[in-house]
Structure 1
Amino acid sequence: MPIYRQIYWRFRDAIVSGKLRAGERVPSVRTLAAELNLARGTVEAAYQMLIGEGYLVSHGPAGTMVAHDLYPAEPPVLEAVVTEHESLVHTGVLPLPLQMGLPALDAFPRKLWIRLASRTLRQGGLDGLVYPDPRGHASLRTALAGYLGIARGISCSSDQIFVCAGYRACLELIYRSLLRVGDHGWFEEPGYFIAREFLKEIGLEPVPIPVDSAGLDVQAAMGMAPDARFALVTPSHQSPLGVSLTLPRRQALLDWAMAQESWIIEDDYDSEYRYRGRPLPALKSLDSQGRVLYIGTFSKVLMPGLRLAYVVVPQAQVKRFAYMADTLQNHCPHVLQSTVATFIEEGHFGRHIKKMRALYPQRRALLIEALLDTLGSAAHIDPQAGGMHIIVRLAPEYDDRIIADRAQKAGLAVQALSRWYAGPETSKGLLLGFTNVQNKTQSASLAARLHQCFQVSADKTHHHS
């Protein structure tokens, strides 16, 4: 760091932390330059930055002093108290083994991606320098409209697609455009807890609706909250149980939304990965009345580092969403959107998904085989037609939360299924991501490490009994 910046930071830190107080005089440029054996111009540059940002005030011959009207050095008291059990959703560190919701990072075509991104930068014109279109880059929205028509059966135009900085940004755009604080909504039980917490944070009230082997129980939902303003569902591959919403229930859900003039938010987070039969068409493909808002993300199919997701909205709502998108300033970097557009247009996206569809069943089989060999009668694995994680069901004497906590301490990103429930009625199990399990040796090692957490848990449970 240049020396003038170092001086600037040292003064700034001293002022912010309260070591230098308001009204205190600081050494003159000449004195400090002599003390530090530096050119006067270096100290002058640091002081000018501090004066420009309002930390110091020059009083001419009277000297330079710390400004009086700075915010207090004491940190503000935050209303939200974060307990020790709460942790950040994303930390920026490399994920632990068995992390859910991650694509195979080692199988991502990085060289190709870098080449396309470099080309995008080289060919960028003035459109990359001005304020971007808040709806998303035009080339990406066009590419997505084509992809969704072929792959998900969704007939939409590019102007119905809004690109957002991640899944929660999509939810916020929907909320700001169509819902109000206090609105009730159907939410799958068990369901994606991060989405549930986010809905609560923005003032909505998710009502837990049971999920069985046919998906969300629409009949039960109509009894529990008939006047709900929205339903948030994962119909292709329920998160976390992996079941699909049956056709009769899809129809019942659409009929309810139409009669109530309510909204269905379809979270289609990993539907590309179905290993038996063809991927199911999206619920949005059946929506003839414009009640479904479809959310897709590139976090699961390309990489989470992109922070790119999108929502497809009914034609009648396009203007409202465009206005809100502009207000929210929910933008994703132009260069990344453009690179993803090229990735789709040139056929790399389709080839990548095809490759992952072949790779994931192999990795899944490796982990399941290792777990069955190691855990024996302590657990069995739920059969699922698709997805990126498995559910390990436990023998009655085991507690999934104890095992998950032990596993986290042992460096494994294992989640307890019971924590995905909002109500007291829960089902126990462990959720394990398999997409980054690369070989037999690794899978055997991970299974052995997990097994040690089982033994500890069993001891603890027997001790209680």
Structure 2
Amino acid sequence: MLVADIIAALPLERALPEPLFRQLYAAMKAAILDGTLAPGTQLPPTRAFCALLSVSRQTVLNAYALLAAEGYLDGAVGRGTFVSRAVPVPKAAAAATGLLRPLSARGQDVVAAMQQVAFHRSALRAFRVGMPRIDHFPFDVWNRLEARRWRRPDHQFGYSDPAGFLPLRELLCVYLQASRGVRCTPQQIVITSGSQQALFLLSTILLSPGDAAWMESPGYRGASGPLRASGARVFPVPVDGEGLDVAYGVAHCPQAKLAYVTPSHQMPLGVSMSLARRLSLLDWAARNKAWVVEDDYDSEYRYAGAPLASLQSLDRAGCVIYVGTLSKVLFPGLRLGYMVAPPALADALVQAKAVADRHTAIVPQMALADFIAEGHFARHIRRTRDSNAERRDVLLRALAQELDDQLACGPADSGLELCAYFRGAHDEDSVSRAGIERGIELRPLGHYADPDAGPACATPAGLLLGFAAIKPDEIGHGVRVLGQLLRGR
């Protein structure tokens, strides 16, 4: 193709707000880099160039100047303008992705680690799990608190403490001591970008590749992902009516360096770890110098009595790291969580946090501190707990009326979801797929089972049904659809 034809074909859009010389610069740069304008090619004189594209000479001169400054063009008065010979000749693109530079082994582990985690990709519908009631949140109050902070910027709007906004950590310390019995100082608290970041940081700095880690099975897949990404060997430990079977873990994998547990409200079965199991777990961790990660993801929502005391409150050996999230209490988009570390570990976690993202966004932390200090946090929890309890009752009544012969409900005294076991022979995955086709979400309990777990970790077939974010009439509709599915209608 002649150079004049190449120039005439350069794409310029006169209706765009971007100046024509910037468009011309970008088009010529692309043509040079992909080899359409080869190194050493002489460009037409500027006046001829203008005629080919119907642009002003100044447009061409400005584009030439940018290209020359970046090394794409060479030229001198009286000699002409050329595509620089220093621009490398482009090689043919790889025919298949397999020829591209591969990820490192660690990179492949990180990418693969969360592939089994289900993400919400559609509009809210019954019975979505892991979702709080967002329309209950006082966004008008939150907007006012954030706006007030934006109106009064100070030195804290620069780079701040990786551990988090100190007034927020002080307020969380008081709250956790009062509500969960957590024994800590503000210096032990590290603010994170959600509990998922906390789990990733802990997996990264506490485990070496090949180290074993206990993981509840069935359990939260979002926790097993970071463990696998760190190169740890995840060892599934069964869960029964008393929580994690510590004796099984001790008998089959006593050398584990870490145990991940959800003792207050096990995910997904909803059971609480018994005192005997808690003490046994802490004894094993102390004797073996292992770590225990306590994920307390939704303990605020207990509907029968006060929230249970944390596992951390029983720890006397400094082996429990308490992980909390505000996604379930406020709203997931906030992306705020926290860790309460043993004093000896706190500084290391702060440094690890600094490596990950320097510090979590400061204005949401400030707004949350004000939200707690002014009493909005406590009021919101009380109101949301009442709302959740009402919707839980709607679900329980509907299941009892419509599906008592089909489903047996698990513990229902806390949380945002209800575990329901099939009374008859049903295939979880088939029921779940049919539910999607009929407009409802049904999460199989098998989704939470470790694929490498043996028969000891087998869980009865069933579903996890979320209710907190679902309106009562939609809960009723969802139960009726589920009944039709289970009865083959």
TM-score of the superposed pair, with normalisation by structure 2: 0.82
Cα distance change on mapping 1:253 and 1:88 into 2, 3 Å: closer
Cα separation, 2, equivalents of 1:38 and 1:397? 74
**Equivalent runs, 1:262-411 vs 2, <5 Å:** 262-329=290-357, 331-411=359-439
**Structure 2 counterpart SS, 1:62:** strand
- Compute the displacement of 1:452 (Å): 4.3
Shift of 1:45: 7.2
Amino acid at match of 1:415: R
Aligned to 1:257: 285
- Flag the 1:276–1:314 CA change in 2: closer, same or farther, 3 A: same
Per-residue CA deviations over 1:420-441 (Å, capped at 9, x if unaligned) read 112252321111110112233x
Q: Tell me the equivalent position of 1:117.
A: 146
Quick one: structure 1 residues 322 and 448, their matched pair in 2 at CA, closer, same or farther if it must change by over 3 Å?
Answer: same
Q: 2 CA distance for matches of 1:271 and 1:313?
A: 19
**Which residue is 2:74 aligned to?**
59
Pick the aligned partner of 1:248 from 276, 287, 298: 276
Q: Which shifted more, 239-248 or 417-426?
A: 417-426
Q: Structure 1 residues 59, 227: closer, same or farther in 2, change over 3 A?
A: same
Deviations 1:226-256 (A, max 9, x none): 1111110001001111111111211111111
* Structure 1 pair 23–312 and aligned structure 2 pair: CA distance change class (3 A): farther
Paired with 2:201 and 2:23, the residues of 1 have a C-alpha distance of: 41
Aligned letter for 2:194? Answer: G
Q: In the superposition, relative to structure 1, how do residues 123 and 210 fare at CA in structure 2: closer, same or farther (>3 Å)?
A: same
1:223 CA drift (Å): 0.6
Counterparts of 1:43 and 1:330 in 2: how far apart (Å)? 44
CA distance in 1, matches of 2:50, 2:17: 15
The AA in structure 2 aligned to 1:169 is Q
Contact 1:267 1:294 in 2 (8 A): yes
- Out of 403, 421, 430, the position equivalent to 2:463 is 430
Farther-moved stretch of structure 1 (188-197 vs 31-40): 31-40
Q: CA deviation at 1:417?
A: 0.1
1:353-402 per-residue CA deviation (whole Å, 9 max, x = no partner) reads: 11111110111122233344443522232232101001121132211111
Match of 2:256 among 217, 220, 228: 228
Aligned to 1:449: 481
2: distance between equivalents of 1:375 and 1:94? 26
Corresponding position of 1:139: 167
CA deviation vs aligned residue, 1:204-244 (integer Å, no higher than 9, x gap):
11211111111111112111111111110001001111111
Distance 1:63 1:9, change over 3 A: closer
Task: Return the match for 2:129 from 79, 87, 100.
Answer: 100
Deviates more, 1:23-32 or 1:100-109: 23-32
Cα gap change, 1:133 to 1:448, in 2 (>3 Å): same
Superposed displacement of residue 350, structure 1: 0.9
Aligned partners of 1:34 and 1:452: how far apart in 2? 72
- Give the Cα separation in 2 of the matches to 1:166 and 1:22: 50
Segments of 5+ residues of structure 2 without an aligned counterpart are 1-15
* 1:367/1:437 contact within 8 Å kept: no
Aligned length: 451
- Runs of 5+ consecutive residues of structure 1 not aligned to the other structure: 460-465
Deviation at 1:331, TM superposition (A): 3.1
Cα displacement (A) at 1:406: 2.3
Contact 1:374 1:447 in 2 (8 A): yes
CA distance in 1, matches of 2:465, 2:358: 32
Structure 2 partner of 1:159: 187
TM-score by length of 1: 0.86
Change (3 A) 1:229 1:42: farther
Select the structure of larger CA radius of gyration.
2
Counterpart amino acid of residue 115 in structure 1: R
Distance 1:91 1:432, change over 3 A: closer
Counterpart-to-counterpart distance in 1, 2:177 and 2:459: 38
Q: 1:300 and 1:259 mapped to 2: Cα distance?
A: 34
Offset at residue 116 of structure 1 (A)? 1.0
The alpha-carbon deviation at position 41 of structure 1 amounts to: 6.7
Deviation at 1:335, TM superposition (A): 1.2
String of CA shifts for 1:12-48, please: whole Å, max 9, x gaps.
88788x5857749697887777666666777777777
Residue 68 (structure 1) aligned with residue 122 (structure 2):
no
> Structure 1 residues 414-423 or 1-10, which shifts more?
1-10
Aligned mates of 1:430, 1:92 — CA distance in 2: 19
Which of 436, 445, 449 does residue 417 from structure 1 map onto? 445
Given that 2:216 and 2:260 are in contact with CA atoms closer than 8 Å, whether structure 1 keeps it comes out as yes
Using the aligned pairs only, state the percent identity.
35
Deviation at 1:124, TM superposition (A): 1.9
Aligned-residue offset at 1:292: 0.4
User: Structure 1, residues 299-355: CA drift from partner, whole Å, max 9, x if none?
Assistant: 111111111111111111222222222223353211111111111121111111111
The structure-2 alpha-carbon separation of the partners of 1:123 and 1:49, relative to structure 1 and needing over 3 Å to count, comes to farther
Q: Distance in 1 between matches of 2:90 and 2:187?
A: 46
Separation (CA, whole Å) in 1 of partners of 2:166 and 2:49 = 54
Partner of 2:13: none
Shift in Å at residue 170 of structure 1? Answer: 0.6
Give the Cα separation in 1 of the matches to 2:266 and 2:254. 22
